[in-house]
Amino acid sequence: MKTKSLLYLAGLTAAIQFVSCAKNDLDSTADLSQANEVTTATEAVTTSARVAAMRIEAESYSGMSGVQTEDCREGGKNVGYIHVNDWMDYSITPAAAGSQTISFRVAGPGGKLRVQKADGTVLATVTLPVTAGGQIYATGSATISLPAGKQTLRIVALTAGWNFNWFELSGGVATTVPPTTTNPTTPTTPTTPTAPSTGANVALYSSFEDASDFNKWIKEICRSSALQISSEVPARKGKYAARFEFTKDDVINYNKYVRAEIRQSSDAEQEKWFGFSNYLPGDFVTDPLAEKIAQWHEVPDWDLGENWRSPPISFGIENGRYYVQILWAAAAVNTNDSKDGEKKVDLGPVDKMKWNDWVFHIKFSYKSDGILEIFKNKVKVYSQYGPNSFNDKFYPYFKIGIYKWGWNGWASYSPENKRVLYYDEVRIGNKNSNLNEVSPQ
């Protein structure tokens, strides 16, 4: 899967994102980044001074020696081709001096890196987690102490072969706040930092009232204008909705890029509820080339030699009609050509300039216990009980937006040059959720 494209995908490389502490990138049960989210009793005293985490994309270095970038499975780019003593420099500006957790999102054989100041002073040596593949990421952390203000951090590879997606500085606290001494070793229950709008079982809620909402998602866009908070159509709720745009020119200008999407990451939950509302503009053109507008994207078992396949469950529009497509396979290793079954189900005609509320209740399974129930405007329009996905270690991850793969090669069959879609009121609930809890309200 390694590509050596050095193409700069402008929309994917926002140099520095300020992100909330929301836990949205649980990629595997071995993901050590949960450490960032667990508030221990000791830390509880100091959280009043906690500042927002600062995430820096690995490819946003100000200088480097010996590395290259490549497409990252988690979206955007990662730094790869790392050899011993390769390094990358990053310009950072901590708001306050003090001790911080520095977390590295990496994949591969493990190893070590060193964090140092511009003058060579070593700040930390970090042991990297071993992961199941070169694009299966986990997070390793260390504690460093930084002064406030603009400075350069150099990250030096002490071992080779790991891939690097991002690093994050978090937990910057005022060092004068004393920790509690009462039972400091007892961790409290991890809390869900993203406040659900309603319902105890809703783990994610995006109202798209503010661009910061996109920080709850991984962006897969080729340019920043492809994804915007918009008020050009009436929102499903509030004042704004998410606007996705994708053009035929994007495919040409961005090295066969075929999507404007945002996504979650896969996790260990087999059964979930997904709710969202979508809106097609008045100039939406009927197109024989389909687009997928929501996907439950598979995660290959890289360690078994598996590669990307089509999404086991996807929701799309083709010839002016909604459809759902379901693929399944029980073999531990499968390809697009080796599966046990496939189904494509018509879900009726599209209507323009109107919000439609969709809920997908899914229990992913390659066995007979799978569940797929689809509701449109709170009315069940389809259900299938039985296999609905592949035999993979990780469950599929959720995406919304525009995936228009046909424009790479068959664009002349399409009567349009630009697709625009709107989304609002996205909720993801756990298995105990229900139609009313995740449905747009």
| x-marked contacts with Ca ion along 130-159 as a string, rule CB under 5 A | ------------------------------
Nearer to Ca ion, 57 or 392 (CB): 392
Residue nearest to Ca ion (CB): 238
- The 3-state DSSP class for residue 323 equals strand
Residue with tokens 């511009």: 118
Residue partners of 369: CB distance under 8 A and separation at least 6: 363
| The two structure tokens encoding residue 342 | 């496939």
**CB of 208: closest distance to Ca ion in angstroms?**
5
Residue with tokens 């950072």: 92
**CB of 157: closest distance to Ca ion in angstroms?**
31
- Could you please report the per-residue DSSP string of 147-198? -SS-EEEEEEESSSS-EEEEEEEE----TTSPPP-SSTT-BPPP---S--SS
**CB of 239: closest distance to Ca ion in angstroms?**
7
**CB of 292: closest distance to Ca ion in angstroms?**
21
Residue partners of 263: CB distance under 8 A and separation at least 6: 75, 217, 218, 220, 297, 397, 398, 399, 400
Rounded to the nearest 5 degrees, what angle is found at the Cα of 260, between the Cα atoms of 403 and 360? Answer: 60
Nearer to Ca ion, 239 or 380 (CB): 239
Residues between 64 and 123 with contacts to Ca ion, criterion CB under 5 A: none
Residue partners of 4: CB distance under 8 A and separation at least 6: 68, 70
Looking at this protein, which amino acid is placed at residue 394?
Answer: F
Which helix (H) or strand (E) segment is 253 a member of?
helix 248-253
Nearer to Ca ion, 430 or 441 (CB): 441
Residues 261, 229: Cα–Cα separation, whole Å: 14
Nearer to Ca ion, 193 or 234 (CB): 234
Stretch of 12-20, 213-221, 306-314, 339-347 lying at the interface with Ca ion (CB under 5 A) = 306-314
Q: How far is CA 198 from CA 137, 152, 216, 316, 408, in A?
A: 31, 42, 17, 28, 41
**CB of 366: closest distance to Ca ion in angstroms?**
9
Residues between 366 and 405 with contacts to Ca ion, criterion CB under 5 A: 391-392
Beta bridge partners of 315: 294, 324
Residues between 226 and 245 with contacts to Ca ion, criterion CB under 5 A: 235, 237-238
Say how many C-beta atoms besides its own lie within 10 A of residue 4's C-beta.
Answer: 10
Nearer to Ca ion, 220 or 425 (CB): 425
Nearer to Ca ion, 325 or 389 (CB): 389
Residues 67, 83: Cα–Cα separation, whole Å: 8
Nearer to Ca ion, 31 or 298 (CB): 298
DSSP single-letter state for residue 412: G
**CB of 317: closest distance to Ca ion in angstroms?**
22
Cβ burial 181-206 (10 Å sphere, 16+ → b, else e):
eeeeeeeeeeeeebebeebebbbbbb
| x-marked contacts with Ca ion along 179-218 as a string, rule CB under 5 A | ----------------------------xx----------
**CB of 229: closest distance to Ca ion in angstroms?**
9
Closest among 265, 257, 266, 264 to 226, alpha carbons compared? 257
| x-marked contacts with Ca ion along 266-305 as a string, rule CB under 5 A | -----------------------------------x----
**CB of 139: closest distance to Ca ion in angstroms?**
24
**CB of 135: closest distance to Ca ion in angstroms?**
15
Nearer to Ca ion, 167 or 364 (CB): 364
Nearer to Ca ion, 249 or 303 (CB): 303
Nearer to Ca ion, 72 or 242 (CB): 242
How many residues form the binding site for Ca ion (CB under 5 A)? 10
Residues between 414 and 433 with contacts to Ca ion, criterion CB under 5 A: 424
**CB of 300: closest distance to Ca ion in angstroms?**
7
- Site residues for Ca ion per CB under 5 A: 207-208, 235, 237-238, 301, 306, 391-392, 424
